[in-house]
Copies of this chain bind each other. A is one copy, B any other.
């Protein structure tokens, strides 16, 4: 017997289309990263196996495992950014946009813990430009949305403080909840609502004198 498509096999790309494999390898890496939770499980051989290709073929597109993992991590961030902007598009008003952003963030972090953590919770800070800027990018978006959705048009300083708080809240919740399923968590929607309320109304304490 000669199976036309053995499991894991792939058709050879046509002449100018060698670059297609690069995308397939990154997709395979994202799969591994999502399945296990760890950067270390994205191996050159594992990725080649999923893509249906021999290990040496990876070297045509990446310098080695480190380069491959970098590309996968960058792609994980792009996927996160895409999920966020997709969630925002078509929301009717600022309040709806903010809520959609918060919900998309939490959903992504909970559904894809591996892809999320590799971008936002690292043991060693990343040297990748995309990851280094990830926090700043996200933050600008949050700050703008909070200002637009707030009932009290906060001054810039206060908008920034609210955005930091919201980010800490959303991240903390999204990483703690799946790690501790036995803990008696409050209802999900209630937690989310509290975050949004906290971000869009005046903070209770007056800023201490002399603090910028």
A residues contacting B by CB (< 8 A) are 36-38, 40, 113-114, 117, 120-125, 132, 134-136, 139, 161, 164-165, 167-173, 175-176, 178-183, 185-186, 190-191, 194, 197, 201, 204-205, 211
Residue in B114, B125, B172, B191 whose beta carbon sits within 8 Å of that of A171 in the complex = B172
Given known pairs A169-B172, A172-B173, A205-B197, the reply for A180 and B135 (CB within 8 Å) is yes
User: When the two chains form the complex, which single residue of B120, B134, B170, B183 contacts A139, counting CB atoms closer than 8 Å?
Assistant: B183
A3 to chain B, nearest CB (A): 35
Given A38-B40, A123-B117: A176 touches B182 (CB 8 Å cut-off): no
Residues of B within 8 A of A132 (CB): 182
The CA-CA distance from A72 to B182 in the complex, in Å, is 22
Tell me whether A168 and B179 are in contact in the complex, defined as CB-CB below 8 angstroms, given that A37-B124, A38-B40, A117-B123 are known contacts. no
Q: Which residue of B lies closest to A114 (CB)?
A: B123
A125 touches B180 (CB 8 A): yes
